[in-house]
Amino acid sequence: MKIHAACLPYFACSILMLIGAGLPGNCDAAPYQSHDAFTTAILDKSTSPYIVLIEVIDDRTGQSSFGCNTANMLKGASYREKWGAFGPNTPETRARFEQVDEIALANTSHVFHFSNEAALRNVLPLRYPEACAAIAKGNAHALPT
């Protein structure tokens, strides 16, 4: 069984709970951004991007990263994963970005798998720890100005 580094604290706590050494309340689930807030971020077209709380998995290595980035960086990574480099602003490109929105919105777990190097470079490293902490507490999801 392979365990991702980001999951080790939850795995260890689960084992402690099984053997009776853990205390209830010490093994909270990973932070999660409400899907409504995530949807707002994905559909926003403003120049002040919203932040999304996501897990990114590099399918080449199995490495998992959990944190935040702007919604447009996630969408760009999804585009690169499916179609490669961005093309000129054509009806086809705009239709592809609409598909990217649909793909993101259908992903209610907010766990995204990438194997394309350019896609991974687009979304990683995850950033904005202060905004990420606020999202984890159910607060704002906009990039602070």
Instruction: Give yes or no: residues 75 and 100 share one domain.
Output: yes
As given in the structure block, the two tokens for residue 142 are 């906009």
Is residue 51 domain-resident?
A: yes
- pLDDT, residue 8, reads 40
Cα-based distances in Å from 14 to 21, 29, 31 = 10, 11, 16
Q: Show the domain range for 23.
A: 1-30
Quick check: pTM over 0.85?
A: no
Residue with token string 């990420």: 132
Dihedral (CA of 72, 73, 78, 81) sign: positive
Residues 104 and 52 in one domain: yes
Total number of domains constituting the chain:
2
The C-alpha atoms of residue 16 and residue 116 are separated, in whole angstroms, by 37
Residue 145 belongs to some domain of the structure: no
Per-residue pLDDT of the chain (145 residues; tens, 9 = 90+): 344 444 444 433 333 333 333 333 344 557 889 999 999 999 998 888 899 999 999 999 999 999 999 999 999 999 999 999 998 999 999 999 999 999 999 999 999 999 999 999 999 999 999 998 898 888 766 665 4
Cα separation, 26 vs 14, whole angstroms: 10
Residue 87 covered by a domain: yes
